[in-house]
Amino acid sequence: MPVGRYFILALFLCVGSPCLAQDMRTVVEPKLPPVCVSLGAEISATKGEIDDNAEKRLDTRRIQAAIDSCKPGTSVQLQGNGDGNAFLTGPLELKTGITLLVAQNTTLFGSRNPRDYDTSPGSCGVVDQNGRGCKPMISARKAPGAGVMGDGAIDGRGGATLIGQKATWWDLAQKAKVDNARQNVPRIIVTDQSDDFTLYRITLRNSPNFHVLVNRANGFTAWGVKIDSPKTARNTDGIDPSSSTNVSILYCYIRCGDDNVAIKAGTAGPATHMTIAHNHFYSGHGMSIGSETDGGASEIEVRDLTIDGADNGLRIKSNTTRGGLVHNVLYSNVCIRDVKNPILMDPFYSTERGPKPPDFRDIQLHNVFIATPGKITLLGLDAQHPLKVTMDGVHAAGVRAGDVRAAHAHIVVGAGGSNVKPSGEDVDVSEIPGSKDRPVVCGGEFVPFPAAAAGHVGEAVPSSVVRNIQESTSTTVTVAPDGSGDYDPVQQAIESLPGSGALVRIRPGVYREVVGWKPSPRQLAGPLLRIEPK
């Protein structure tokens, strides 16, 4: 976006409203640290996959030994060596001041053997009610100054079939959703109490779960990071800073199957002083705060952001089991396109109820342009906890009254105006005198995801072959997402099936649902369908 626009906006904010304190550090582009040990690749990967013969040749021990041997302020470099271009590892633990440096054209793959990640015997790679059975691929615990850098890639192999199973990590995540349980799968990077952790230029892809989780840190920087997982890969958040302060996420490209960025503030403490700037988001669940907000989230600035093709755009989510105060949040210079919910502020994130009311206030939206129609939700919890938001230069192309839902909200329209006109129960809208809708139109801000970083391994949802057990059945139902079939949701079609058997035809399209079958007594009277893995 033009530099002049930032300058004018900065003056307005300091004169017309309190200046927000974001990351209080002076953040500059990181530098690659000197190499302490350089390890050569001994495995060759073709088209993002490792040959089965190499699966037992783990590099975990030699990488960890190098990490343990180096002095703070240096790096362990992984780089190609002749025909070798890949490393294969189980869990690694970074130490104070040590950077893992993955060189260009080199990939660090995660093992697909659940036993390598067990926190207790047999705990990883299963679905249960616990969900804490796997170590992360890379961890940093009380390791200040550590980091992961380089122009290479780290691949969690979420879509690769697990050793000893007929399922992938992503299959386990989907099964957990169907069973209302928890998947035990690893994350790529998890830090805890590791101040000043840095991610720089690295590509992270195909994580079995969150790509990056940062807990209880004072100082975290992600600069020029690329994150890539399929949109159907459940719980594959991009970067989640949790109960941390002084956080900067800058110049990153993120597409994934859940929140692109999710700021969390749970019982471990508040999330404060964060800057999320100059980023591009693609598929995912958007720029989120929550759902854990009971620790309090504040002093957050999101600016110069494009969101292209995500399910949600600017999102604050919580509920009364984990609600708290979210305030002093600024969104500015944001371009949104092909997003179902461009603005979603929701204190009813789930049906759970508890004693912790979400309270969203002092939320500012400046120069936000929504290029395509979508739903806008502006909800406060109740009259005692109303949403308080300022909209200044918020323009939604093709917005209709039915696209805007609001309740328990106090809304101020700034001098830049807005064509979004909220109304509803306990909603009041006031305008600064002289307000005029002056939409900022986005053009060249939308850019493609960097092609060199892309590389999905496997499918997030495996293909299946549906076989009709009762070949003579006369009942056929058709599912189509455009309304041309007998049913729209697949689940509704399954629940309609007679006990005598049926054939379900599913037309091409996108189906966003979890499908399960709990047969009724009449359906138990005869066999219906069997779904088998390919």
Per-residue pLDDT for 255 more than 70? yes
Per-residue pLDDT for 463 more than 50? no
Known active-site residue 327 = no
Confidence of residue 360 (pLDDT cuts 50, 70, 90): very high
Query: Domain check: are 369 and 507 in the same one?
Result: no
16 phi/psi in degrees, rounded to 5: -90, -15
User: Is residue 51 domain-resident?
Assistant: yes
272-314 pLDDT tens trace:
999 999 999 999 999 999 999 999 999 999 999 999 999 999 9
Per-residue pLDDT for 471 more than 50? no
User: Is residue 222 domain-resident?
Assistant: no
Q: What share of the chain is helix, strand, coil (3-state, %, to 5)?
A: 10, 40, 50
Secondary structure string (H, E, C) spanning 45-95: EECCEECHHHCCCCCHHHHHHHHHHCCCCEEEEEECECCECEEEECCEEEC
Kindly report which listed range (135-139, 167-171, 434-438, 484-488) carries the lowest average pLDDT score.
Answer: 484-488
Per-residue pLDDT for 534 more than 60? no
Per-residue pLDDT for 523 more than 60? no
Q: According to the model, what pLDDT value does residue 479 have?
A: 72
Kindly report which listed range (113-127, 189-203, 436-450, 473-487) carries the lowest average pLDDT score.
Answer: 473-487
User: Is residue 188 domain-resident?
Assistant: yes
Average the pLDDT over 55-59 and give the result. Answer: 93
Q: According to the model, what pLDDT value does residue 451 have?
A: 84
Cα-based distances in Å from 149 to 101, 206, 236, 343: 5, 18, 20, 33
Query: Domain check: are 372 and 474 in the same one?
Result: no
Q: According to the model, what pLDDT value does residue 7 have?
A: 28
Q: According to the model, what pLDDT value does residue 439 have?
A: 67
- CA separation for the pair 161, 220 (Å, rounded): 33
Query: Domain check: are 413 and 358 in the same one?
Result: yes
Q: According to the model, what pLDDT value does residue 477 have?
A: 63
510 phi/psi in degrees, rounded to 5: -105, 125
Average the pLDDT over 352-368 and give the result. Answer: 96
Confidence of residue 443 (pLDDT cuts 50, 70, 90): confident
Per-residue pLDDT for 458 more than 80? no
Per-residue pLDDT for 456 more than 80? no
Query: Domain check: are 365 and 427 in the same one?
Result: yes
CB 237 within 8 A of CB 263: no
Average the pLDDT over 233-240 and give the result. Answer: 98
Q: According to the model, what pLDDT value does residue 53 have?
A: 86
478-495 pLDDT tens trace:
776 655 566 666 766 666
Query: Domain check: are 205 and 112 in the same one?
Result: yes
Query: Domain check: are 397 and 275 in the same one?
Result: yes
Average the pLDDT over 175-193 and give the result. Answer: 97
Average the pLDDT over 141-162 and give the result. Answer: 98
Q: According to the model, what pLDDT value does residue 476 have?
A: 65
Boundary (domain end) residue, out of 430, 457, 484? 457
User: Is residue 215 domain-resident?
Assistant: no
Query: Domain check: are 280 and 331 in the same one?
Result: yes
Known active-site residue 285 = yes
User: Is residue 218 domain-resident?
Assistant: no
Confidence of residue 153 (pLDDT cuts 50, 70, 90): very high
Return all residues near 401 (Cβ < 8 A) that are at least 6 apart: 421, 423
Strand partners, 476: 503
What are the tokens at 269?
């403490």
Q: According to the model, what pLDDT value does residue 21 have?
A: 63
CB 225 within 8 A of CB 270: no
Return all residues near 135 (Cβ < 8 A) that are at least 6 apart: 90, 91, 117, 118, 119, 124, 186
Per the structure, how many domains does the chain have?
A: 3
Query: Domain check: are 511 and 493 in the same one?
Result: yes
Return all residues near 103 (Cβ < 8 A) that are at least 6 apart: 77, 78, 79, 80, 150, 151, 152
What are the tokens at 400?
């209709």
- Catalytic-labelled residue, pool 118, 195, 237, 258: 258
Question: Which of these, 247, 250, 123, lies nearest to 197 by C-alpha position?
Answer: 247
Q: According to the model, what pLDDT value does residue 498 have?
A: 61
Average the pLDDT over 13-35 and give the result. Answer: 76
- CA separation for the pair 465, 373 (Å, rounded): 36
Confidence of residue 399 (pLDDT cuts 50, 70, 90): very high
Of 477 and 256, more confident: 256
Query: Domain check: are 472 and 448 in the same one?
Result: no
**Domain extent at residue 349:** 1-27+236-457
Boundary (domain end) residue, out of 457, 479, 510? 457
Query: Domain check: are 449 and 474 in the same one?
Result: no
Question: Which of these, 297, 235, 229, lies nearest to 263 by C-alpha position?
Answer: 297
* Residue percentage of the chain with pLDDT more than 90: 75
> Could you count the other beta carbons within 10 Å of the beta carbon of residue 82?
9
Of 54 and 488, more confident: 54
**What sign does the CA torsion over 55, 61, 66, 71 have?**
positive
User: Is residue 223 domain-resident?
Assistant: no
Confidence of residue 19 (pLDDT cuts 50, 70, 90): very low
Q: According to the model, what pLDDT value does residue 490 have?
A: 74
Average the pLDDT over 493-504 and give the result. Answer: 62
Q: According to the model, what pLDDT value does residue 507 have?
A: 62
Confidence of residue 532 (pLDDT cuts 50, 70, 90): very low
Average the pLDDT over 356-363 and give the result. Answer: 98
Question: Which of these, 453, 28, 457, lies nearest to 282 by C-alpha position?
Answer: 453
Query: Domain check: are 488 and 426 in the same one?
Result: no
- CA separation for the pair 343, 333 (Å, rounded): 14
> What is the per-residue DSSP string for 175-222?
HHHHHT-EE----SEEEES-TTEEEES-EEE--SS-SEEEES-EEEEE
User: Is residue 225 domain-resident?
Assistant: no
Kindly report which listed range (131-140, 157-166, 481-490) carries the lowest average pLDDT score.
Answer: 481-490
CATH number at residue 145: 2.160.20.10
* Residue percentage of the chain with pLDDT more than 70: 81
Q: According to the model, what pLDDT value does residue 383 have?
A: 97
Q: Whole-number mean pLDDT of the chain?
A: 87
Per-residue pLDDT for 251 more than 50? yes
Boundary (domain end) residue, out of 209, 227, 247? 209
- Catalytic-labelled residue, pool 211, 273, 280, 285: 285
> What is the per-residue DSSP string for 420-440?
-----TTEEEEE-TT----PP
Question: Which of these, 241, 179, 181, lies nearest to 210 by C-alpha position?
Answer: 241
Cα-based distances in Å from 216 to 76, 100, 213, 241, 321: 25, 21, 10, 8, 21
Which amino acid belongs to residue 14? C
User: Is residue 90 domain-resident?
Assistant: yes
Confidence of residue 441 (pLDDT cuts 50, 70, 90): confident
Of 432 and 161, more confident: 161
Confidence of residue 17 (pLDDT cuts 50, 70, 90): very low
Query: Domain check: are 295 and 390 in the same one?
Result: yes
